[in-house]
Amino acid sequence: MKGVGNSTRVLEKAELLKSLGEYSGCIRTIESVPEEERSYRMTLLLGWAYSDLAVLGDKDSGRDEPDQELLGKAVSILESVGDQGKEDPTWNARMCYALWMTDGREADALEYAMIWKELDPNSEDARKQEVTIRRYIDENVDQNPEMYDEAQWDAVEDHIAEHFGDFPNVFHELVSPDIHVDICIIPPRRDHDYYTLVTMGMGAHEMDVPEGIEDVRRRAEVLINLPRDWRLDEESLQDNRWYWPIRMLKDVARLPVSTGCWLGWGHTVGMDEGERYDESTELCGCILLSPGVFGEDSYRCALPDGDEIEFFQVIPLYQEEIQHKIENDAETLLDVMNDDLLEVIDPLRLNAVTDFDRIDHDDAVMDDARRHQRIIDRLGLDTEKLAAYGHMSIYLEWCIRHGMMNGSFVSRHREVVESVRSGEMTDLRGFIQDDPDMDGRLTTLHLNRIGSFFTQWYNWGDKSNPYEFLRDVKDYVDTVFEGREWRDEEEMFNAYLLVPWSDEYRLRMMDTIDERFAQLMESFQDSPWLVEDDGFPDPDGWGGARDCAVSERIISGEPIGYCLRRRPEREDEGWESGWCFFADDDDDSRERMVFRSLGYICDLSPDIRRILDLPYGTAFMREEDGMLHPYEGNDEEDR
């Protein structure tokens, strides 16, 4: 009880100092108490004192202009107890006054004035403050914002509905001093089980893009994906914990207007030093990327006059991630950020820079049964024992039957491969679950070049490709459960986990995969990735990836003049050795390269065999003596 008494004395002293206009003394008194020990009343009083100090000065000495930095501090402190204060008229009053004196926050102040009046309908101060703010906005805030014309508006609405989803709800902006920014709320849907919030109105302003900057549109809109359990009801949005993504979208949307800057792919937007979007997260800035999960057609909206609007997905970042991007570039940051960190916002996600070693991600993994089992467990679905593995078994069976596995997989699992090809084995669910090499996953590391290319085209689930294997599975499942009443929307979206295992299921889906593969071959008939294997056996003792890149001039008969081993992309390590072979005077690029087996290149030039096991970053030049000699001029990034 001693600590309670001390807190009471501190609060009484702070209240006295504030009543005397000693705001700095009030602040020092409260801040002498560790932040974690401060009560709600203490924190409310602290924010109040900062606000009064910013506007009035100590002993109400007055200021020429309110101190905007102190006001920002006041708002931040008050927001830190928003959960407790949102039903408190006093807290809403203090938020109202602090925002009212903050430059450009009149509209936000009005919202708190309205809540204050609603919570305390007998308050004359609340009524007067609302009237004052409304009058100021009417008289001083430009209410003729830049806006789309009707035809442009229709085009943007149609684009959002077609590529991101229907939006039954729109958060309409009450006050628009410069541009009118509404927020379209797209609810979770089958292919995207999360909310998508898209601005509508940002692109009415043409950004000042410097001359010489190519492939950048002068108009833009921004979007963000939020988890399906994110609270977007009116009451919850009074709490900054749920509102901050909307505020972030609006802030980004207004940045080109307020600062005259332009925004493009890979640009980052940070907050003031030490600030974050909300006390519930350490996220404090964002990066603008293309909305890849919705496909390339979603990136740009054509307007009737031929102009285009670029759509960017906003990804909130930690300070270390922002710094990593600044010190390197956006591509380098994306190399350490997997799709799970990018697609849907998680305020408590791991930090791609500081937590890199803890992030369990592998670019080569196509599917993981653990993810599906988590859905089963979370929703309490009544499924068959191996339900998480059903669609994975079908895909693996198709790949084995059609010769898509690499030599390493075939050697390690020859009995399984032969049983599948003979038709003796048609259920691979247990194999995927129990075999240590599979580890409950499907990975491109088990596939050859054509199998890997097809899998990346068909299964990565977005990236401009119109097909996705799991989406095709869900289309089939819709026919199985046609007319069924679902417990809720989530159960319906995940019904693929409820479909019974059967030969009909297997065969129908393998027919669909056949169709998709035929479409791939037709669409990419000239692609070097889809050239049939040359049939040469692997070099003696070679157990690594089979393929290498070879200059067309070497294929035509010229000798190897230079070779190097580059580190392949992780998802291609199952088939690509990394070796590249060039003729004399070839440039060091792959534009005129084809894929051949290492057996083929060793048959052409047997002296290659002795260097194949050397590490990434190795390079050799053929000298005047006709021999290959180590070459040190290769790039560090190849290693």
Q: Got the DSSP string for 33-76?
A: S-GGG--HHHHHHHHHHHHHHHHH-GGG---SS--HHHHHHHHH
| Domain stops at, among 296, 324, 357 | 357
Same domain as 118, residue 35:
yes
Cα(134)–Cα(127) distance, rounded to whole angstroms? 11
Closest-CA residue to 258 (of 209, 329, 187, 207): 207
Cβ neighbours, 10 Å, residue 613? 12
Same domain as 274, residue 371:
no
Q: Note the pLDDT of residue 639.
A: 44
Q: Note the pLDDT of residue 462.
A: 46
Q: What is the CA radius of gyration of the chain?
A: 31
Share in percent of the chain as helix, strand, coil (round to 5): 50, 15, 40
Same domain as 76, residue 218:
no
β-pairing verdict for 593-597 and 182-186 = unpaired
Query: Could you tell me if residue 530 is inside a domain?
Result: no
Cα(456)–Cα(479) distance, rounded to whole angstroms? 27
Query: Could you tell me if residue 450 is inside a domain?
Result: yes
Query: Could you tell me if residue 466 is inside a domain?
Result: yes
Q: Which two tokens stand for residue 217?
A: 């549109």
Same domain as 105, residue 168:
no
Q: What is the CATH number of the domain that holds 18?
A: 1.25.40.10
| Domain stops at, among 105, 120, 140 | 140
Same domain as 211, residue 106:
no
Same domain as 558, residue 591:
yes
Same domain as 449, residue 565:
no
Same domain as 299, residue 174:
yes
Same domain as 187, residue 107:
no
DSSP sequence for 434-495 = H-TTTTTEEEGGGB-HHHHHHHHHHHS--TT-S--HHHHHHHHHHHHTTTPPPSSHHHHHTG
Query: Could you tell me if residue 253 is inside a domain?
Result: yes
Q: Note the pLDDT of residue 63.
A: 77
Half-sphere exposure (CA, 13 Å, Cβ side) for 119?
18
Domain with 20 in it: 3-140
| Domain stops at, among 311, 329, 357 | 357
In whole angstroms, how far apart are CA 488 and each of 190, 192, 381, 525? 12, 16, 12, 44
The model carries a pTM of: 0.68
Same domain as 598, residue 480:
no
Residue 549 in contact with residue 580, Cβ under 8 Å?
yes
Cα(360)–Cα(449) distance, rounded to whole angstroms? 25
Q: Note the pLDDT of residue 464.
A: 44
Residues 563-572 have pLDDT tens digits of: 999 999 989 9
Same domain as 376, residue 351:
no
Q: Note the pLDDT of residue 467.
A: 66
Average confidence score pLDDT of the chain: 90
Residue 517 in contact with residue 402, Cβ under 8 Å?
yes
Which SS3 state, helix, strand or coil, does residue 254 take?
helix
Residues 47-69 have pLDDT tens digits of: 999 999 999 998 877 778 899 99
Same domain as 292, residue 165:
yes
Domain count, the chain: 4
Cα(431)–Cα(417) distance, rounded to whole angstroms? 11
Query: Could you tell me if residue 541 is inside a domain?
Result: no
Cα(527)–Cα(96) distance, rounded to whole angstroms? 62
Cβ neighbours, 10 Å, residue 414? 10
Residues 352-393 have pLDDT tens digits of: 899 887 777 788 888 999 999 999 999 999 999 999 999 999
Residues 403-449 have pLDDT tens digits of: 999 999 999 999 999 999 999 999 999 999 999 999 999 999 999 99
Residues of the chain with pLDDT under 70: 1-5, 141-143, 460-467, 587-591, 633-639
Query: Could you tell me if residue 257 is inside a domain?
Result: yes
Which SS3 state, helix, strand or coil, does residue 98 take?
helix
Query: Could you tell me if residue 529 is inside a domain?
Result: no
Cα(370)–Cα(440) distance, rounded to whole angstroms? 7
Q: Note the pLDDT of residue 466.
A: 54
Which SS3 state, helix, strand or coil, does residue 418 take?
helix
Q: Note the pLDDT of residue 362.
A: 81
Query: Could you tell me if residue 52 is inside a domain?
Result: yes
Residue 598 in contact with residue 548, Cβ under 8 Å?
yes
Residue 579 in contact with residue 548, Cβ under 8 Å?
yes
In whole angstroms, how far apart are CA 416 and each of 60, 308, 428? 84, 53, 9
Q: Note the pLDDT of residue 141.
A: 65
